[in-house]
């Protein structure tokens, strides 16, 4: 294990290489492009023993890795924003076939209006597709979760694809110190690929053909059970990863708690700004407010039991969302409300389209919440109360 | 070329009891193609009739591995598969099986991408000239004047010249075939199967229901399409175009069978105006002029 100052994108590319991926489909979209460029360069230099397919769209990127994975090799691709939405059809096809695949999503706002900056709406819009969905908060975690993702996805109790989210620019382009495991360490953790269905003329199987309604529904139920099973698998694999690969960071639980035990209030967040939220917790603790943080690392599976255990007794919970379901509020807020219907939960949708949310902003939002000056769900910043559309006119 | 049909007939790749309609040209094509392909092939079937002919999972009438996939995704999935087999040192050919809708329309970007990369796959377009699986909606491959569910008055645009478009991708092999001439089809498949790189075969598959003819006449319609020169049988290999024996007579207008013989056997052109027939004839003439100029080396692709 060595440590280096690298960006989130570089960390992910290294994680993919160390996982001995065999086929990679690449198509550029900001802010993940550097990952695939780096992988293509590694392939050119002979450092990576993989085939790289330069596809003509994200739809094809997911189709290409799906085809390759069905033929029995470990695969990888990355995308963001419009690209993820363009892949949407194939994302479902992969999950429904129970084919293990790993993908990175460098999260980014979705147009219109055109916007290249960070938010989580692209990522959250795939939460019903049957993929395992983890979200990193540091470049280190992006690397660690990528390597773990192969093992989780290829576990026989799971056999679902997995995507790892990473805040666009904030993590993808920011350089921090990252511990990079050696090939031997990763090899000791990650066994050769295994999968339930492989296309092979010696043992012909059909993948994805027409099923009767009841058989289709049974298959959907099997995906539901696999998603539930994956909770234990993720913890088990996380612990093994800590032991065999990188002994920094903690992966023994799906989500992370910070100063929650004696807390009366809790913040809930996901992604890079969770680290700012931790500082806010420290700051408020110094002022005598008993508050803690619960950081969501896995959107799917959703760790309902842990959330009930850690947050069920709180006087108030504030959920920070970087995504929105229009007319309903932030996705995490909605999930929390459904998990803890009797707890006082407020939610704030903020940081959309790259609006900068720093420690001070989170601090002022939290204070406002504790002082009880908030409704159930609100947007921040809200200096512009309303966007006035042009006067409508009838068109001849 | 010897096909060695006796050997391959012993190992049927299309099992009895498919869910195909009576007289289904795709059933005929599938049976022939899979025999010509031999054992080391995997099919990538995009949305269409062939997803239904296969029957209900978990059983299947296809006696080879199949990846059923979304409409626009076939060539890309096959490209990934080709790379995976290469990494596993397996000599297995990914074969995409797609209709004309999946080829000319929704899957066109993916097709063009895989051709440009010269991925090692065989792409077979079964051209029944409309979205026959969803009720006979027109496609980019429906010919001028044909009546379909969405062009009840006859299509106003010409058929997209896919073989020519594929030739312009400079891939190693492009061919056309018809279910009227199965030996020709099988020979072409056998040849393509052994070529490294992107190969493309477009098979005319006249559909009894969409084209409105008696299901016993599928092969006859497939033959008439060739004899009247509506459907050329050609091959394009290493930059050189050849005309298959069955279509050689089309080079001279005078030796072509009248187009009416092809049109009157089907319902798609029933009651259409003489102008439409004329428009279709003009298209066929121009198509043969193009083929001739490439064949004679006047135009180099």
* pLDDT single digits (tens) A268-323: 999 999 999 999 999 999 999 999 999 999 999 999 999 999 999 999 999 999 99
| Shared-domain flag, residues A117 and A193 | yes
Q: How far is B228 from chain A (nearest CA, A)?
A: 38
Where among A245, A266, A286 does a domain terminate? A245
Decide: A193 and A159 in contact? Cβ < 8 Å: no
Name the minimum distance, in Å, from the CA of B60 to any CA of chain A: 7
Counting other chains too, the contacts that B186-189 makes at CB distance below 8 Å and 24 or more residues apart are B186/B3, B186/B5, B186/B32, B186/B33, B186/B35, B186/B36, B187/B1, B187/B3, B187/B36, B188/B235, B189/B32, B189/B33, B189/B36, B189/B37, B189/B122, B189/B124
Minimum mean pLDDT range among A101-110, A196-205, A309-318, B213-222 = A196-205
Look at residue A122 and tell me if it is in a domain: yes
- The candidate with the shortest Cα–Cα distance to B200, out of B152, B248, B157, B168, is B168
Nearest residue in chain B measured CA to CA from A205: B65
- Closest Cβ opposite residue A23 in set B39, B83, B113: B83
Name the pairing type of β-strands B93-99 and B41-46: parallel
Same domain membership, residue A167 and residue A19: yes
Q: A199 and B56: CB-CB below 8 Å?
A: no
| pLDDT of amino acid B115 | 98
In angstroms, the separation between the Cα of residue B16 and the nearest Cα of chain A is: 17
Question: What does the alpha-carbon distance between residue A136 and residue A254 come to, in Å, rounded to a whole number?
Answer: 12
Structural domain for A274, as ranges: 256-371
Residue B113 touches partner A, C-beta closer than 8 Å: yes
A213 contacts chain B (CB < 8 A): no
Q: What crossing angle do the helices spanning A58-70 and A81-96 adopt, rounded to 10°?
A: 30
Residues in chain A with CB shorter than 8 Å from the CB of B70 are: 63, 89-90, 93
Contact criterion met (CB < 8 Å) for B87 and A66:
no
Q: How many angstroms separate the first and last alpha carbons of chain B?
A: 27
Average pLDDT for residues B51-77, to the nearest whole number?
Answer: 94
Residue B284 reports pLDDT greater than 70 = yes
Residues A168 and A30 grouped into a single domain: yes
Q: What is the CATH number of the domain that holds A335?
A: 3.40.50.920
d(CA A14, CA A8): 10
**Who's near A294: CB < 8 A, 6+ residues apart?**
A255, A256, A257, A258, A260, A266, A267, A268, A269, A307, A310, A311
User: Which chain A residues contact residue B57 at CB under 8 A?
Assistant: 206, 209-211, 215
**Pairwise CA distance, residues A202 & A183, whole Å:** 33
Mutate to test the interface with A, among B80, B90, B92, B169 (most CBs of A within 10 A): B80
Query: Is A187 within 8 Å of chain B by CB?
Result: no
Give the one of B63, B85, B112 whose C-beta lies nearest to A204's C-beta.
B63
Residue A186 lies in a domain: yes
Nearest-CB residue to B73 (from A60, A206, A212):
A60
Which of B56, B68, B72 lies closest to A208 in CB terms?
Answer: B68
Inform me whether the pLDDT recorded for A147 exceeds 70: yes
Looking at the fold, whether A69 and A194 belong to one and the same domain comes out as yes
Residue A394 lies in a domain: no
A24 inside domain: yes
Q: What span, in angstroms and rounded, lies between the C-alpha atoms of A99 and A94? A: 6
For B112-132, the pLDDT digits (tens) are 999 999 999 999 999 999 999
Read off the pTM. 0.96
- Give the CA angle between residues B259, B264, B267 to the nearest 5°: 125
Residue B207 · residue B271 · CB < 8 Å? no
Across B135-146, average pLDDT? 96
Indicate the range of A36-50, A379-393, B139-153, B172-186 predicted with least confidence: A379-393
Which residues make Cβ contacts (< 8 Å) with residue B144, sequence separation at least 6? B154, B155, B156, B157, B158, B159, B276, B279, B280, B283
* Per-residue model confidence as pLDDT tens digits over A370-383: 999 888 888 999 76
Closest alpha carbon to B301 in B128, B129, B174, B136: B174
A102 in the same domain as A28:
yes
CATH 3.40.50.970 fits B25-296, yes or no: yes
Q: Find out whether A118 and A108 touch, Cβ atoms under 8 Å.
A: yes
B283 Cα to chain A: minimum distance (Å): 32
The pLDDT-based confidence of A249 (bands split at 50, 70, 90) is confident
pLDDT on residue B3: 57
User: Are A68 and B57 in contact (CB < 8 Å)?
Assistant: no
Interval A156-167: pLDDT, tens? 999 999 999 999
Determine which helix (DSSP H) or strand (DSSP E) holds A6, and give its type and residue range: strand A2-7
Pairing of strands B173-178, B234-237: antiparallel
Residue A396 maps to a domain: no
pLDDT at position B2 over 60: no
Instruction: Determine the average pLDDT of the residues in B172-194.
Output: 97
Cβ separation of B88 and A71 shorter than 8 Å? Answer: yes
Sign for the pseudo-dihedral over CA of A175, A36, A199, B90: negative
Find which of A206, A213, A214 to mutate to test the B interface (most B CBs within 10 Å of its CB): A206
Query: Which of A222, A132, A140 minimizes the C-alpha distance to A176?
Result: A140
Task: Give the pLDDT band of residue B301 (cuts 50, 70, 90).
Answer: confident
Average pLDDT, chain B: 94
Residue in B with minimal Cα distance to A76: B80
Q: Mark which residues 246-265 of B lie under 8 Å from A by CB.
A: none
Co-location of A226 and A340 in the same domain: no
pLDDT at B1 over 60: no
Residue range B242-279, pLDDT digits in tens: 999 999 999 999 999 999 999 999 999 999 999 999 99
The string of pLDDT tens digits covering residues A34-84 is: 999 999 999 999 999 999 999 999 999 999 999 999 999 999 999 999 999
CB contact under 8 A, B69 and A93: yes
Say if the Cβ atoms of B79 and A73 lie within 8 Å: no
Judging contacts by C-beta atoms under 8 Å, the chain B residues touching residue A196 are: none
Distance from CA of A52 to the nearest CA of B (A): 8
B77/A67 Cβ within 8 A: yes
Out of B41, B44, B88, name the one closest to residue A201 (CB).
B41
Residue A83 lies in a domain: yes
CATH number of the domain at A182, please: 3.40.50.970
Residue A313 within a domain: yes
Residue among A66, A89, A209 whose CB faces B77 most closely: A66
Judge whether A385 lies within some domain.
Answer: no
The pLDDT tens digits of the residues spanning A190-244 come to: 999 999 889 999 888 999 999 999 999 999 999 999 999 999 999 999 999 999 9
Structural domains in chain A (count): 2
B7 pLDDT higher than 90: no
For A60, the closest of B42, B66, B113 (CB atoms) is: B113
Percent of chain B with pLDDT over 90: 88
Which of A186, A214, A245 is the last residue in one of the domains?
A245
Q: What is the pLDDT of residue A387?
A: 82
At B13, is the pLDDT very low, low, confident or very high (cuts 50, 70, 90)? confident
Q: Is B85 on the interface with A (CB under 8 A)?
A: yes
Rounded-to-integer distance, Cα A58 and Cα A60, Å: 5
- Contacts of residue A99, defined as CB under 8 A and 6 or more positions apart, other chains included, come to A66, A69, A70, A159, A161, A195, A197, A207
Residue B9 has pLDDT above 70, yes or no: no
Q: For residue A65, which residues of chain B lie inside 8 Å, CB to CB?
A: 80
Phi, psi of A350, rounded to the nearest 5 degrees:
-150, 170
- Find residues 124-183 of chain B whose CB sits inside 8 Å of chain A: none
């Amino acid at each position: 294990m060595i440590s280096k100052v690298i960006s989130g994108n570089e960390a992910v590319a290294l994680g993919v290489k160390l996982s001995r991926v065999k086929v990679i489909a690449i198509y550029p979209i900001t802010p993940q492009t550097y990952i695939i460029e780096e992988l293509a360069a590694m392939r050119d230099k002979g450092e990576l023993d993989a085939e790289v397919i330069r596809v003509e769209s994200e739809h094809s990127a997911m189709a290409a890795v799906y085809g390759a994975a069905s033929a029995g090799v470990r695969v990888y691709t990355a995308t963001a924003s419009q690209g993820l939405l363009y892949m949407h059809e194939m994302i479902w096809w992969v999950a429904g076939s129970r084919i293990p695949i790993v993908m990175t999503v460098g999260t980014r706002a979705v147009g219109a209006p055109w916007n290249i900056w960070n938010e989580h709406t692209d990522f959250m819009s795939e939460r019903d597709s049957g993929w395992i969905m983890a979200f990193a908060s540091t470049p280190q975690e992006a690397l660690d979760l990528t390597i773990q993702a192969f093992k989780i996805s290829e576990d026989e109790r799971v056999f679902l694809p997995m995507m790892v989210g990473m805040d666009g620019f904030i993590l993808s382009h920011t350089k921090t110190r990252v511990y990079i495991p050696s090939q031997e360490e990763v090899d000791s953790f990650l066994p050769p690929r295994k999968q339930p269905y492989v296309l092979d003329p010696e043992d012909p199987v059909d993948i994805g053909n027409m099923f009767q309604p009841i058989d289709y529904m049974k298959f959907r139920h099997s995906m539901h059970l696999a998603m539930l099973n994956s909770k234990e698998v993720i913890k088990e694999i996380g612990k093994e990863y800590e032991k065999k690969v990188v002994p920094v960071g903690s992966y023994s639980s799906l989500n992370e708690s910070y100063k929650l035990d004696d807390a009366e209030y809790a913040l809930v967040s996901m992604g890079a700004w969770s680290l700012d939220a931790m500082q806010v917790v420290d700051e408020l603790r110094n002022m005598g407010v008993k508050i803690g943080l619960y950081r969501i690392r896995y959107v799917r599976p959703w760790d309902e039991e842990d959330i009930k255990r850690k947050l069920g007794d709180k006087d108030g919970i504030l959920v920070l969302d970087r995504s929105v379901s229009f007319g309903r509020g932030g996705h995490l807020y909605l999930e929390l409300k459904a998990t803890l219907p009797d707890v006082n939960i407020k939610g704030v949708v903020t940081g959309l389209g790259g609006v900068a949310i720093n420690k001070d902003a989170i601090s002022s939002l939290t204070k406002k919440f504790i002082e009880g000056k908030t409704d159930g769900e609100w947007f921040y910043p809200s200096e512009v109360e309303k966007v006035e559309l042009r006067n409508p006119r009838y068109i001849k | 070329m010897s096909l060695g049909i006796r050997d391959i007939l012993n190992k049927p790749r299309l099992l009895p009891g498919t869910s195909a309609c009576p007289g289904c040209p795709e059933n005929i094509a599938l049976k022939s193609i899979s025999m010509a392909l031999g054992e080391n092939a995997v099919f990538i079937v995009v949305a269409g009739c062939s997803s239904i002919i296969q029957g209900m999972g978990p059983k299947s009438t296809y006696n080879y591995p199949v990846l059923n996939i979304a409409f626009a995704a076939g060539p890309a999935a096959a490209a990934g598969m080709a790379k995976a087999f290469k990494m596993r040192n397996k000599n297995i050919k990914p074969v995409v099986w797609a209709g004309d809708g999946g080829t000319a329309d929704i899957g066109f970007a993916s097709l063009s991408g895989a051709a440009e990369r010269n991925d090692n796959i065989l792409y077979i377009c079964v051209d029944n000239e409309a979205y026959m699986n969803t009720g006979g909606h027109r496609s980019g491959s429906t010919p001028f004047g044909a009546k379909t569910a969405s062009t009840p008055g006859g299509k106003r645009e010409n058929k997209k010249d896919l073989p020519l478009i594929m030739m312009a991708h400079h891939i190693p092999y492009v061919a056309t075939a018809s279910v009227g001439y199965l030996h020709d089809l099988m020979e072409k498949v056998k040849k393509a199967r052994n070529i490294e790189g992107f190969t493309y075969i477009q098979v005319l598959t006249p559909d009894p229901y969409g084209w409105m003819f008696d299901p016993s006449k599928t092969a006859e319609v497939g033959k008439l399409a060739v004899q009247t020169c509506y459907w050329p049988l050609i091959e394009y290999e290493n930059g050189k175009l050849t005309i298959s024996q069955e279509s050689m007579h089309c080079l001279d207008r005078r030796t072509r069978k009248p187009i009416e013989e092809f049109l009157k056997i089907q319902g798609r052109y029933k009651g259409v105006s003489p102008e439409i027939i004329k428009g279709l004839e003009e298209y066929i003439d121009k198509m043969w002029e193009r083929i001739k100029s490439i064949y004679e080396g006047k135009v180099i692709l």
